[in-house]
Structure 1
Amino acid sequence: MKKGLFRRLGTQIREWRSEWDTDLLNPKQWLLDLFGAATTASGERITSDNALLNSNVYTCASILGGDIGKLPIQVFKTKGGDIQRDSSHPVATLLGSRPNPFMSAYIFKELMQVHMTVWGNGYANIEWEYTGPNAGKPKGLWPLDPSKTDVHVDINTGEPWYVTQLPSGEVRKIRHYDVLHFRAISKSGLKGMTPIAVVREELGVQQSQRKFLGSFYSNGTATRGILKIPSGTLDKPARDKARDEWQKANSGLTNAHRIAILDAGMEYQNLGMPLNDAQFIETSKFGIMEVAKIYKVPGYKLGLSDVKFSNMENQSLEYVKSTLQPIITNWEQEIDFKLFTEQERKRYYTKFNVATELRGDSASRAAYYKNMLDMGVFSINDVLELEERSKIGEMGDRHFISLNYVSLEQMDQYQMLKAGLAPKGGE
């Protein structure tokens, strides 16, 4: 019994050592943080945790998280060449209604996307059903803290494991098929890189700018300058007294608009306000552009440019295709592999419904529906469903096509009938 206890203890110690073992060529994150690797050239320390407090990062995370959160994820199954939507599957319930008792589907999807946007990884522990008709299927999705979760590869088996710290402080090791993992761009394919590492210096500059603005306005003065004396010189005590009196009269918000009285022929010369400098303003705009570029968020969503109604639809379409579609594909492929069994993957799959993002204005939707109806792709009930209106019964399920369409094989016969040259009788 003692041998087994010592053996388990030795195994646990080796696992703990693997968590903390590091070297200078491949340092762990705790070592980087310890020696201030997250400190930028501006002197500001930027980590994924405090980067979310940056207004530009927060806006991008809010935009991407909100857009992914609001899009419904639907479950489909193929049967005999036919594609049917299955809203009764447990995966459809988890992703469309309630992934766990404490979160709605929107909150869960938004949270996972925010984690991936800021930390580069979104993790959720999969809770499985072990009994009943749904045995072997997922029954809950529990988000994990991305700042306290890491991916490790077993050197003996090559199998990836997830090590995380729970809110209780317990460190838990989880198998890879029990974790839903959405990752950003990666060097290894196992763990995503945090985008904050790319714009850390830029965020440091922005944080310094904000501190400067806070200090500037806290002084309550909009000017900087010098006091000139027409003739003669002042000794050091007199200069210090003049400076102290001037600062006392003009510093602080309560003294911002007080009138300073200059005696002894003193003259005040304004040196200008630094916030008027074009370089300062351009630096601020450049910082916003850099963050928006990293996340592929259009500038107009961050207030950098005006959007006209004439090109709103094109810009929205470009945003869906270039920004959202890669994220959506990432989600769909991870969900299909992790949440369906091997047998289910042969006929089940998930799909984000982006119709709401592509609907455009009423005139564009009407033209689109008309084309789909004319080609026989949509039925009337299909259009009503997309518009979230009541269907009109079985007659609305019929598909129509224009009589002007004819197959190439029948084109010659059709033209002869129109010319009255078609064979008569039973010929």
Structure 2
Amino acid sequence: MKWNPFKKPEQRNNTPAYDTYYSSLAIGGESAGVSVNTETAESISAVYACVAAISETVGSLPLYVYKRTDKGREKAPQHPLYKLLHDTPNDYQTALEFREQLQRHVLLRGNAYAEIVRNGAGRPSALLPVHPDRVTILRSQQGRLLYDIVDDSGRTRRLLADEVLHVKYHSDDGIIGRSPIQVARDTVGLALAERTHGAKMFEQGTKLSGVIETQPGTTKDQAAQIRDSWAAGQAGVNNHGKTAVLPQGAQFKTVSMTLEDAEWIAARRLSIVECCRLFRMPPVMVGDMEAANYSNVVELGRFFVTNTLRRHLVAWEQAINRVLVNDPATYFVEHNVEGLLRGDSLTRAQFYERAISDGWMKRSEVRRLENMPTIEGIDDEAAQTREAG
């Protein structure tokens, strides 16, 4: 039996009805005469680059479990959650592959889900990714969230909220997230139509657009038939460039602009910027170097971290701390973004020099941030040098 994501749960497994029914609605439909869904949207190079840049960075950033101490915090590599988040969350994925996959789901579908497998002590022992199209969320009369997950055989399993890691994006109701593609379907559809327009022009090499002049005495019905015949054979992006055949005595007069007059190439570049806006992505991060130069590329990278990545990283951290950390008063998880914010070598050197001279950072800490081996006594030598000076 083929699974129907829009079928209510009481129709699937005869369970009682719930006050509110939510479903991860499929992203689909037409805009600008083309089909817009996650697959066609990702075929746009700008959309693919935005999704890849964000998901690859989130997946590759170090994600550590920390223990709160009297002096602040320290890494907790012995915590059972550390291995799941930093190394292998399950038997067939690395941590990078797992987090990259779920982040792609967040960006393309608005929601990412992973089933939490716990051991006999109730601690997480594995995280299994679940495709968003296979998940339906219910809310009981008591306000509890339940997750219906459909497996490959069509069987539905019901999980409690503390058995699912759910990362969502731009939710309207606090339960189901929305993707930029779902919200701005027209923007993506226009980019797809512009690309298809250019492809058809180069493929078929003809561009016909204008008015049809008929012979005197043509009735309204005959004119309507000619118009409808023309529209059936020429209208729409997919029919662009096809050779037209007119009735005897009719003449075609071109009134359209050329691609150069319409600044088609400029419109194509604008579609790149529009797609970047959907994901709050600096265009330079997807290969658009028009506004980039040597002096601002470092700042654009910092903009990427603070204005693009920060929201996603915090969403991951809070979702994990909420359902995976059993003792949040003692332990918590957090990403390490220091490597992305380092800047160029000269800027880092000036920053470290000022930090050491002002006394709020030690030389050993600088070496640790730069992934350099520890030198015993380097901080004592620095202190002696200051005293001698």
TM more than 0.5: yes
Q: CA deviation at 1:144?
A: 0.6
Deviations 1:397-424 (A, max 9, x none): 559669999xxxxxxxxxxxxxxxxxxx
Q: Give the SS at the match of 2:198.
A: helix
Q: In the alignment, which of 351, 370, 392 is matched to residue 353 of structure 2?
A: 370
Pick which of 351-360 and 381-390 moved more: 381-390
Deviations 1:341-365 (A, max 9, x none): 1xx2001111110011011111111
Q: CA deviation at 1:49?
A: 4.2
Q: 1:225 to 1:53 in 2, by over 3 A?
A: closer
Pairing 1:121–2:107 present? no
Counterpart Cα distance in 1 of 2:258 and 2:66: 60
Alignment of structure 1 residues 398-409 onto 2, 5 Å? 398=380
Counterpart Cα distance in 1 of 2:374 and 2:85: 26
Q: CA deviation at 1:138?
A: 1.0
Alignment of structure 1 residues 46-195 onto 2, 5 Å? 46-130=36-120, 135-154=121-140, 156-195=141-180
* Greater relative contact order (CA < 8 Å, ≥ 6 in sequence): 2
2:116, 2:124 within 8 Å by CA — same for their partners in 1? yes
Q: CA deviation at 1:53?
A: 2.6
Partner in structure 2 of residue 422 of structure 1: none
2:18, 2:138 within 8 Å by CA — same for their partners in 1? no
Q: Give the SS at the match of 1:78.
A: strand
2:47, 2:275 within 8 Å by CA — same for their partners in 1? yes
Partner in structure 2 of residue 308 of structure 1: 293
Q: 1:59 to 1:16 in 2, by over 3 A?
A: farther
Counterpart Cα distance in 1 of 2:200 and 2:17: 46
The one-letter code sitting in structure 1 at the alignment partner of 2:278 is: I
Pairing 1:15–2:15 present? yes
Deviations 1:175-220 (A, max 9, x none): 111111111011111111121122211222222223322322222x
The one-letter code sitting in structure 2 at the alignment partner of 1:357 is: L
Counterpart Cα distance in 1 of 2:380 and 2:122: 39
Alignment of structure 1 residues 166-315 onto 2, 5 Å? 166-219=151-204, 221=205, 274-304=258-288, 305-315=290-300
Pairing 1:347–2:341 present? no
Q: Structure 1: which 5+ runs fail to align?
A: 1-9, 227-268, 406-427
Q: 1:28 to 1:336 in 2, by over 3 A?
A: closer
Counterpart Cα distance in 1 of 2:154 and 2:95: 27
Q: 1:294 to 1:270 in 2, by over 3 A?
A: closer
2:110, 2:168 within 8 Å by CA — same for their partners in 1? yes
Q: 1:274 to 1:164 in 2, by over 3 A?
A: farther
Counterpart Cα distance in 2 of 1:270 and 1:383: 69
Bigger Rg, structure 1 or 2 = 1
The one-letter code sitting in structure 2 at the alignment partner of 1:286 is: L
Counterpart Cα distance in 1 of 2:182 and 2:195: 20
1:382, 1:397 within 8 Å by CA — same for their partners in 2? no
**What is the TM-score normalised by the length of structure 2?**
0.77
Counterpart Cα distance in 1 of 2:29 and 2:385: 69
Q: Give the SS at the match of 1:191.
A: coil
**What is the TM-score normalised by the length of structure 1?**
0.71
Q: Structure 2: which 5+ runs fail to align?
A: 1-9, 211-252
1:95, 1:105 within 8 Å by CA — same for their partners in 2? yes
Q: 1:148 to 1:53 in 2, by over 3 A?
A: farther
Deviations 1:374-409 (A, max 9, x none): 23333222222211121113x24559669999xxxx
Pick which of 93-102 and 306-315 moved more: 306-315
Q: 1:147 to 1:50 in 2, by over 3 A?
A: farther
2:367, 2:373 within 8 Å by CA — same for their partners in 1? yes
Q: CA deviation at 1:98?
A: 0.7
Partner in structure 2 of residue 360 of structure 1: 343
1:162, 1:176 within 8 Å by CA — same for their partners in 2? yes
Counterpart Cα distance in 1 of 2:197 and 2:11: 52
Q: 1:378 to 1:276 in 2, by over 3 A?
A: same
Counterpart Cα distance in 1 of 2:105 and 2:379: 43
Deviations 1:228-278 (A, max 9, x none): xxxxxxxxxxxxxxxxxxxxxxxxxxxxxxxxxxxxxxxxx9999833234
The one-letter code sitting in structure 2 at the alignment partner of 1:390 is: P
Please give the root-mean-square deviation of Cα atoms over the aligned residues, in Å: 3.2
1:373, 1:400 within 8 Å by CA — same for their partners in 2? no
Q: CA deviation at 1:50?
A: 3.5
